[in-house]
Chains A and B, each alone.
Chain A
Amino acid sequence: MKSKLIVFLIISMLLTGCAGQGNDEPKLEQMEGTESSQGSTDSAPEQDNIRNDSTDNAATDNQVYILEFEATTMEGETMTSDVFADSKLTMLNVWATYCNPCLSEMPYLGELSQEYDKAEFQIIGIISDVAENGDEYSIELAKDLIEETGANYPHLPLNQSLYTNLVGAVTAVPTTFFVNAKGELLGYISGAYPKESWEEIINGLLSEME
């Protein structure tokens, strides 16, 4: 009896030990994509739109996913995927007003957006729980949060185009996508990270482009 108890205790300690690695370096997941769907009138997106390759086979992209969208910023200006051409690297950060990890990294993202030249790197936020034509309360809340966190870069509330082409396949927030100047999706990362980690990733991606 007693020995079985000890065996169980050892197993449980091993299991908890394994999980306690702390935050490892974030790994950029490579994307395998199908062609982008035209902004259709489907209410639910095809989740096959963006499939993730969770095995670490880095360079096996048969098809590259080109992100297209049309949306309106929180300021009311229209923005389309043409904006990707403005920068070598665009970071699309999908967040939600209820999500603390998202909000806690947004001040860093605000700083990062100022530190790079716009021709090199830009950040665009996508608010997954506020709709473009949403209720006043949600929109006001989003604006308050953007101000409180100092995330002073453009933010897009959700619309059909963004949902069908990108957000529909996202399972958890925060999720961050990286796109190059041609609109090609380079990869995505789930979870919030400190400023240094983001800097490393951004610099890494930029240097790969040279």
Chain B
Amino acid sequence: MKKIRFTKVRLFFQIIYTILTNGYIYGYLNGKIYKGTLKYACVPGLNCYSCPGAVASCPLGALQSALNERNLQVPFAVLGFLFIFGSIFGRFVCGWLCPFGLLQDLFYKIPLFKKKKQLPFHKVLKYGKYIVLVALVIVGSSFLFEGFAKVPAFCKYLCPSGTFFGAIPLLGTNASLQAQAGGLFSWKLGVLIFLLLLSIKVYRPFCQYLCPLGAIYGWFNRFSLVQIHWDKDSCVSCGACKKACPVDLPPEKISVSPECIKCGKCVDACAKGCLHFKKKRNMEEKSCNPSGRQTD
């Protein structure tokens, strides 16, 4: 029974996707950003719209800019995008549709240090993403006045994706911006370098402990259309899935836990074939729900 090797497919897919969504070559060559109408739309992952190559907007950037308005409104437009992406994909976005996730995946592949899946105190630290979401994205952007206007607190003080894909290429191509880079940039660069170095040893530390977008999509994870289904009846409890899982999830938690990024490594690892994506996502077998009964 020939199975699709999701591990290889995913990497290929991530690279192609990142090139498509951040491939505005003219921007890179001239140090400018894309200004076309595609930027009225958000892509699902962390995709800084100040990246010279970005062709669409970042959902978190858009969310914060909505909260930055002087008269605070419910940001329906951005919530619309988040609900749509969350309902269809859940954290599949993280696993397949986020350039910064790809970057951390690549760093984890560097053959240095003994690899760990998680940091110590993981059970507590994993709530860090909710703290970042509430403190920086929501409260910071809604209420923090610095001077005459509010600021997108997560973008300004933390987002390493913006530093890597936006700030660094822009600084590289715009001499007059280099004079502007000061203490704030040093901090953000330090954060970026720290996270990238850490991601050589620990799997996707930003995604597991800090990403507010992952926190949001995590809420959708058990309800989303894209799921990895577990055929409990065929399971022999060998633990191969948990071992392969980069965030160490047991089979009953796979796909439904807010930590699962639906990367598909468990699907590849299961010798009995009891884990599989839904039929719509090009799979051969019929999907079963966890209780083992066939549906539709």
- Chain A interface (Cβ within 8 Å of chain B)? 1, 4-5, 8, 12, 15-16, 19-27, 29, 44, 47, 51-52, 54-56, 97-100, 103-104, 137, 141, 145, 148-149, 168-169, 171-172, 188-192
Contact = CB atoms under 8 A, between A and B. Distances in A.
Nearest to A99: B149
B201 to A, nearest CB: 10
Contacts of A16: 186, 189-190, 193
**Most A CB atoms within 10 A — which of B68, B174, B178, B179?**
B179
A26 B30 CA distance: 20
Given A22-B183, A103-B148, 8 more contacts: A12-B190, A19-B189, A24-B178, A54-B175, A55-B175, A103-B149, A149-B148, A191-B176
B193 A20 contact: no
B56 to A, nearest CB: 16
Contacts of B185: 19
B40 interface: no
B33 interface: yes
A99 B147 CA distance: 10
A141 B70 contact: yes
B176 A29 contact: yes
B83 interface: no
Interface residues of B, number: 38
A44 B36 CA distance: 8
19 contacts: A16-B189, A16-B190, A19-B185, A19-B186, A19-B189, A21-B182, A25-B179, A26-B176, A27-B176, A47-B26, A52-B31, A137-B71, A145-B148, A148-B148, A168-B35, A169-B32, A172-B170, A191-B177, A191-B180
A190 B33 CA distance: 14
Given A100-B151, A190-B176, A22 B146 contact: no
Contacts of A104: 147-148
A103 B145 CA distance: 12
A4 B197 CA distance: 12
Nearest to B26: A47
Contacts of A21: 181-182
A44 B35 contact: yes
Interface in B197-255: 197
Contacts of A55: 175
A172 B177 contact: yes
